[in-house]
Structure 1
Amino acid sequence: MSENRMPQIEPGSLPRPKGGIVSYMQLSDAAAASDFYQKAFGAREVTRMLHPDGKRIIHCHLYINEGSIMLNDAFPDQGMPLEAPQAFTLTLMVDDIDAWFKRAADAGCEVITPVATMFWGDRFCALKDPFGVSWAMNQGAA
């Protein structure tokens, strides 16, 4: 495949996104992020497409907790610059917050707020992953 040719995709051949909204993040190392999210959040990678250079990821689709997240490496020349994530938190609605929190912390997430019952009655925690993305987990009150 030439350096300038992107892979051709058969319409309808990619896994469908799950959920009503999908976050699509440009990261410094999408391959490492995918590996980390699989370890920390139990994600399952369903698609990985490499750039013709064979190194950078142009599209990576993960299923996490019955939803979808998509990743790619930064491509500043195509309007997708690498900028530190800011002003958002990805929140996972979970049934067993203690297990989800432990897995993420053990994988290397920085603990921002440990699991605790919050003023609104739910159990909640906040973490930051090694790529600078803020995550929260919320378990509804019984």
Structure 2
Amino acid sequence: MTISLQYTNITVNDPDASIEFYRDALGLEVSNDVRSGDFRWVTMGTDAQPGLGIVLSEPHAGRSQEDGDAMAELLNKGVLPMLVFTTSNLDATFEQAVAAGAEVLQEPVDQPWGPRDCAFRDPSGNTVRVNQG
């Protein structure tokens, strides 16, 4: 039996700003853009890892008002789970993200627990880490 992760969901305040960040800073591409009423789900991925994607959606998309409000509060506090990417060239990825205007949380550094990595905040405040692969 083989199992792999296909998508992970990322809650964002502004899908368009988030598309720009994940496209320009990390090189992902939009593979699907679905609208349902006032809400939107945007799937992004890369040819380098076919079948793996992220889905960007607003706090209230597909949720009750109460749940959407709770998710929005957590997003605004910056306490939703972080997203970790791996790259073959951390320095080049870091420079690309900086050039795209990403908010830097941590420049590339060798961590005492193993990986060399850096960190950014996406336009909605989510923490995005990138490890050298």
Q: Common fold, TM-score beyond 0.5?
A: yes
**Number of aligned positions between the proteins:** 119
Unpaired segments ≥5 residues, structure 2: none
Unpaired segments ≥5 residues, structure 1: 1-18
Report which of the two has the higher share of helix: 2
Matches within 5 A, 1:15-94: 19-20=4-5, 22-53=7-38, 56-57=39-40, 59-64=41-46, 66=49, 67-75=52-60, 77=65, 79-81=67-69, 82-83=72-73, 84=75, 85-94=78-87
Partner of 2:105: 112
Aligned residues with identical type, % of pairs: 25
Higher relative contact order at CA 8 Å, sep ≥6: structure 1 or structure 2?
2
Letter in 2 for 1:100: T
> How many Å separate the matches in 1 of 2:26 and 2:120?
12
> How many Å separate the matches in 2 of 1:119 and 1:32?
34
Of stretches 108-117 and 73-82 in structure 1, the one that deviates more from structure 2 is 73-82
Q: CA deviation at 1:80?
A: 3.1
Of stretches 86-95 and 119-128 in structure 1, the one that deviates more from structure 2 is 119-128
- In the superposition, the TM-score normalised over structure 1's length comes to 0.71
Superposition RMSD on alpha carbons, in Å? Answer: 2.2
- Secondary structure in 2 matching 1:80: helix
Q: Is the 8 A contact 2:21 2:102 kept in 1?
A: no
